[in-house]
Amino acid sequence: MTGHPDAVVVGAGIVGAACAEALGRAGLRVTVVERGAPAGATTASGEGNVLVSDKEPGPELELARSSLRRWPDVLRGAAAVAPDAPDPEWDPKGGLVAALDGGAEEPLTAFAAAQRAAGVDARAIGGDEARDLEPGLSPEAGAAVLYPQDAQLQPVAAATALLAAVRARGGRVRHGTAALGLVRGASGAVAGLRTDRGTIPCGAVVNACGPWSGDFSRLAGAPVDVRPRRGMVLVTAPLPPGTVRRKVYDADYVGAVGAGEADLRTSTVVESTHAGTVLIGSSRQRVGFDDTVRVEVLRAIARKAAALFPALARVPVMRAYGGFRPYTPDHLPVIGEDPRVPGLWHATGHEGAGVGLAAGTGHLLAALVTGAPADTDPHPFRVLRGEEDGRE
């Protein structure tokens, strides 16, 4: 390929891959720069839930709905141009949220009613009906909500497929290359990206560094506040098919996702994978990038999973893994151009939903870069918010 790219995306996680794919589809020449292996960081820890069920009405739900609409087409489009890429295992298997104690029923039904008003397919059902759908569910479950729109994909395969599409359209993916900072022109606008393997001239740089986005933004001279929030997942030995059919959640997450406290939080998600193993997630804890094993965290996850699916208590847990969710103080992603540095864009801070939100994020970012219409309001995701404009 000759000539310089129009845009360089820094970070080949699911978010960077989706942004690069959307920019490439919009006709830009794209290079992706990744310091490690593509899809090897947070994206490799993601469980692959593409959810509307856990989102209250508001900007994140709107981005999630946009993403959910787009994912199947984006994956089909990628497979059409790069047929040899791995199968992302898109599976609209649906979600079921169960209230395990009487106190959780009321908030759950109210939450679902508000989601319904915002256009989400959320069907309130009783405990017995829930057990017909998921025979292993706890007898304690009194009420449940069925979310037929919830889906799942394999995040590493999906990111790999999107990057294959980027290459198929003439873009480049340079792994083992770390971004070190920007080159800025006389006007102060982006003129290139400095890397440990030389400078890449370009007019636009997209910061998609996941939990390391704060670091890169400082190198770029335009800090954004993105920090790591550790999460762990348990994986069981393979179980017979049908043991867990959908994604099954404990309704208590209705409080957890938005909270910013350092202390440990768990919200239980139980689901089976194509390989037959059951994934049990997950925890949220602010411990920086410390990755030492914390057994109390594994215990907390296990305790709640056994409450939701009592039969799982007998099942061996084979492994545990974790990652660092990129979060912002107000728990909304940052998507848009940085007003301090023209040509610097951010697409980051997706916390526990980056896999689900990636397709919508790529669409929104490409629309903003090219000036095309977007189907989501970008304002809530703008880069400078908080004190600057009176938001809490």
Partner 1 sequence: MSAPPPVTIVGAGPAGLAAARAAASAGARVRLIDAEPSPGGQYLRGDALAGPHGGAAGQGAHVPDGAEHISDTEVWALEPLPGGGARLHLRSGPADGSGGARTADAPVLVLATGAHDRVLPFPGWDLPGVVTAGAAQALAKSQRTAIGRTAVVAGTGPFLLPVTRSLIGAGARVAAVLEANAPVSGWLRCAGGAAAGFGKFGELVGHTAVLARRRVPYRTRTAVIAAHGDGVLEAVTTVRLDPGWRPLPGTERTIAADALCLGFGFTPRLELAVAAGCATTGGFVRVDAAQATSAPGVFAAGEPTGIGGAALAAAEGEVAGTAAARACGHPVVAPLGALRRVRAGRRFAAALAAAHPLRPGWTRWPRDDTPVCRCEEVTLSDLHAAARSASGGRAFRLASRAGLGLCQGRVCGRNTAELIGLTDDDAQRFDRRPIAVPVRLGDLADGT
Ligand X SMILES: Cc1cc2nc3c(=O)[nH]c(=O)nc-3n(C[C@H](O)[C@H](O)[C@H](O)COP(=O)(O)OP(=O)(O)OC[C@H]3O[C@@H](n4cnc5c(N)ncnc54)[C@H](O)[C@@H]3O)c2cc1C
The contact set with partner 1 (CB under 8 A) reads 36-41, 43-45, 84-86, 154, 156-157, 159-160, 164, 175, 234-238, 275, 277, 280, 292-295, 298-299, 302-303, 305-306, 312-322
Displacement of CA 309 from its chain's centroid (Å): 26
Q: Which of 176, 223, 230, 200 shows the shortest CA–CA distance to 42?
A: 230
Say which entry of partner 1, ligand X, none residue 14 contacts (CB below 5 to 8 A, set by partner kind). Answer: ligand X
Strands (E), 48-202: 49-50, 95-99, 123-126, 143-147, 151-152, 172-175, 179-184, 190-195, 198-201
Question: For residues 40 and 221, which CB has a smaller minimum distance to partner 1 in the complex?
Answer: 40
Displacement of CA 111 from its chain's centroid (Å): 22
Question: For residues 98 and 353, which CB has a smaller minimum distance to ligand X in the complex?
Answer: 353
Q: Is 266 among the residues that bind ligand X (CB under 6 A)?
A: no
Say which entry of partner 1, ligand X, none residue 112 contacts (CB below 5 to 8 A, set by partner kind). Answer: none
Q: Is 13 among the residues that bind ligand X (CB under 6 A)?
A: yes
Among the listed ranges 11-19, 140-148, 182-190, 376-384, the one in contact with ligand X (CB under 6 A) is 11-19
CB 291 within 8 Å of CB 231: no
Tokens of 350: 């997706």
Burial class (CB in 10 A: 0-12, 13-18, 19+), 297: buried
CB 18 within 8 Å of CB 78: no
Q: Minimum Å distance from CB 190 to partner 1?
A: 27
Say which entry of ligand X, partner 1, none residue 305 contacts (CB below 5 to 8 A, set by partner kind). Answer: partner 1
Q: Is 285 among the residues that bind ligand X (CB under 6 A)?
A: no
Q: Measure the CA–CA gap between 332 and 299, rounded to whole angstroms.
A: 29
Say which entry of ligand X, partner 1, none residue 248 contacts (CB below 5 to 8 A, set by partner kind). Answer: none
Q: Is 94 among the residues that bind ligand X (CB under 6 A)?
A: no
Among the listed ranges 32-40, 55-63, 161-169, 310-318, the one in contact with ligand X (CB under 6 A) is 32-40
Say which entry of ligand X, partner 1, none residue 348 contacts (CB below 5 to 8 A, set by partner kind). Answer: ligand X
Concatenating the DSSP letter of every residue in 133-177 gives H-TTS-TT--EEEEETT-EE--HHHHHHHHHHHHHHTT-EEEES-
Among the listed ranges 7-15, 102-110, 236-244, 380-388, the one in contact with ligand X (CB under 6 A) is 7-15
- Considering only residues 204 to 233 of the shown chain, the ones binding ligand X according to CB under 6 A are 208-212, 216, 231, 233
The one-letter amino acid code at 33 reads V
Say which entry of partner 1, ligand X, none residue 350 contacts (CB below 5 to 8 A, set by partner kind). Answer: ligand X
Q: What angle do CA 301, 304, 310 make, to 5 degrees?
A: 125
Say which entry of partner 1, ligand X, none residue 342 contacts (CB below 5 to 8 A, set by partner kind). Answer: none
Q: Is 15 among the residues that bind ligand X (CB under 6 A)?
A: yes
Of 354, 359, 369, 376, which lies in the binding site for ligand X, with binding defined by CB under 6 A?
Answer: 354
Q: Minimum Å distance from CB 186 to ligand X?
A: 25
Q: Minimum Å distance from CB 106 to ligand X?
A: 27
Q: Is 14 among the residues that bind ligand X (CB under 6 A)?
A: yes
CA distances, 117 to each of 63, 68, 124, 332 (Å):
16, 18, 13, 21
Q: Is 24 among the residues that bind ligand X (CB under 6 A)?
A: no
Say which entry of ligand X, partner 1, none residue 289 contacts (CB below 5 to 8 A, set by partner kind). Answer: none
Say which entry of partner 1, ligand X, none residue 233 contacts (CB below 5 to 8 A, set by partner kind). Answer: ligand X
- Does the bond joining 217 to the residue before it have cis omega, within 30 degrees of 0? no
Burial class (CB in 10 A: 0-12, 13-18, 19+), 117: exposed
Token match 């804890």: residue?
A: 285
Token match 């404990």: residue?
A: 250
Q: Which of 189, 14, 178 shows the shortest CA–CA distance to 22?
A: 14
- Under rule CB under 6 A, how many of the chain's residues touch ligand X? 44
Q: Is 336 among the residues that bind ligand X (CB under 6 A)?
A: no
Q: Interface with ligand X by CB under 6 A: which residues?
A: 10-16, 33-36, 40-43, 45-49, 178-179, 208-212, 216, 231, 233, 281-282, 322-323, 325-326, 348, 350-356
